[in-house]
Structure 1
Amino acid sequence: MAVLAGSVLVPGLGEIADRFGEIVVGGDVLGELGVTLARVCLGFALAFAAALVVGIAMGRHPVVRRFFEPAVLLGLTVPGLVWALLCVIWFGVGLANPVLAVALSAAPALTLNVYQGIRALPGELLEMTHVYRFSPWRRLRYLWLPALQPALFSGARLGLSLSWKVIVLVEIFGLSSGVGYQLNNEFAAQSVAGVLSWTLLFGAVMALLEYGLLQNLERRLTRWRKAVSV
């Protein structure tokens, strides 16, 4: 494609590979990726905790559902770009900016998944927890979390994909470190090969999280389902 285009705006594979090597060898690539990953993890953890509490409450109490449902639906429709811009305006260049932008973008999808998982629970299991007088902690540990595992993992994948998109926008607009900041530098230098190289590195981290972390964790935590089905 690069040869056919004959334009400097469409780099060849060799040029991309060269720039990729320069970034990996000559730059602080691990530091930049680590900063972005830390921001994503903090924001996603905040979104996950909030979604777990609100989603379970929405599934158990109609009043809570009616109160939070409009906010969840609105959050699903707001583009990540809007959250990025608002958090830059509200919180400046501090840590709160990327963390809250990620949390605000990921929380609605996670909350909806948790709510739907709670609604799908068999009524007999809920009645059993009442009969045996399970405490809220025991219900969370032995009923809700095991039953919600499929919804939580699907929500985690969706939430992480949204988080990565938003964190890049936040770093581009208002921060001086991270992958988004480096992408902005490559854009300012009109380096298409540099933009594609950082994008490839970004994609490699996403693949590592999916295949190295989420899938392995899901297999371990869902072994009991396979044992029961057998």
Structure 2
Amino acid sequence: MSTAAAAPSASKPRASQEELARRSRRNDLIKTWGWRLASYVFFLGLWEFSSGRFMDETLLPGPSAVFATFGELWQSGKVPAAFATTLTRIAIGFLLAFVVGVLVGMLMQNRWLSGFFKDAVTIGVTTPGLIWALITAIVFGNREAGPLIAIVLTTFAIITVNVSEGIKSLPKDLTDMARSFGVGAIKRNRHIVIPHLAPFIFTGVRYGFSMAWKVTVLTEVFSSSSGIGFEMRTATQLFQLPVFLTWILAFYILALFLEKVVLEVIERRFFAWRATLKA
């Protein structure tokens, strides 16, 4: 009887600790998002206050004018069409860059092939995307191959370096033990190699994706006849500052959405097993 009566009382401190932990996480989340939203309110308010006071509204349109212009462009269908064009280029170009980067990273584990690819990878990492955008604009003009090749040349090296470093740090003892116990190559890759390389690959994808965004818009500014960059160039040529700032703001919003919502959600779900192990 005494043991049965003591059990509920022993579980109460644990429940209270769990509740305190949830409250602490909730408070941290509220503070984090509160400060983040406060930064947006501050800078947008400063921007609105400066427009028409420190600078003429024709040179610095306020956020209210930019948001109104965004609504007009959205209703006209320009925003969805431009985003669809740019995102299609990024998806195709970055997929090609990912495949090339992974293959080259795996091949560089060979000493001779490492010497063959090393300088090319170094050039790819150090060369600014602006250089590749200008080269492809000169060579391909406004053809669709230009942005795709610029994306591949700019981003494949980032993925290659991360994959190569991940393979170098692969625990050889673990793979040797798996072989000694007769574990097949498919299971070894699924349960050992891929989980080990995943953080390196995701790091390369996130950095490479941000570079792909930049070089795609640059190529569209220089040589394309459609997309976000083309719309920016047209707005500057016509000296339409509200339209130009609207495209920049829309570009930022979409980039943040893809980075903070899409990529982070995929990464969090892929690494959900880590939280299970910690628990």
TM-score where L is the length of structure 2: 0.76
Matched, 1:184 2:233: yes
Specify every segment of 5 or more residues in structure 1 that has no aligned partner in the other structure, as ranges: none
1:72 is aligned to: 121
AA partner of residue 176 (structure 2): E
Residue 70 to residue 139, structure 1, CA distance change in 2 (3 Å): farther
| Partner residue in 2 for 1:98 | 147
Give the number of the structure with larger relative contact order, counting CA–CA contacts within 8 Å between residues 6 or more apart: 1
| Structure 1 position 48, deviation (Å) | 0.7
Q: How much has 1:130 moved relative to structure 2?
A: 4.5
2:168 aligned with 1:168: no
The answer as to 2:275 corresponding to 1:226 is: yes
Aligned mate of 2:156, from 107, 123, 127: 107
Deviation at 1:128, TM superposition (A): 3.6
Which AA in structure 1 matches 2:234? N
Give, in angstroms, the shift of residue 83 of structure 1. 0.7
Count, aligned residues: 228
> Which secondary structure state, in structure 2, belongs to the residue aligned with residue 5 of structure 1?
coil
- Identify the residue that residue 86 of structure 1 maps to in structure 2: 135
CA distance change for structure 1 residues 198 and 219 in 2, over 3 Å: closer, same or farther? same
Cα distance 1:97–1:140, how it changes in 2: closer, same or farther (>3 A)?
farther
| In 2: Cα distance, 1:143 partner to 1:176 partner | 46
CA distance in 1, matches of 2:100, 2:179: 25
Shift in alpha-carbon separation, 1:229–1:119, aligned structure 2, 3 A: farther
In structure 2, give the amino acid aligned to 1:65: S
Structure 1 CA distance, aligned partners of 2:189 and 2:92? 22
Change (3 A) 1:43 1:194: same
> Which deviates more, 220-229 or 193-202?
220-229
CA drift at 1:62: 2.4
The answer for unaligned runs of 5 or more in structure 2 is: 1-49
Structure 1 residue 30, shift from structure 2 partner: 0.8
Cα deviations across residues 142-174 of structure 1 (Å, max 9, x unaligned)?
Answer: 433221111111111111111011001111111
Q: CA deviation at 1:138?
A: 5.2
Closer, same or farther: CA 138–53 of 1 in aligned 2, 3 Å: farther
Shift of 1:201: 1.1
Which protein is bigger by CA-based radius of gyration? Answer: 2
Q: How far apart are the structure 1 equivalents of 2:177 and 2:276?
A: 22
1:52 to 1:143, Cα distance in 2 relative to 1, 3 A: farther
1:228 CA displacement: 2.9
* Corresponding position: 1:53 with 2:103: yes
Corresponding letter in the other structure for 1:190: F
Moved more, 88-97 or 123-132: 123-132
- The residue correspondences of 1:25-64 to structure 2 (distance < 5 A) are 25-58=75-108, 60-64=109-113
Runs of 4+ in 1 over 4 A off after TM superposition: 137-140
The worse-fitting range, judged by mean Cα deviation, of 197-206 and 15-24 is: 15-24
**One-letter code aligned to 2:164:** Y
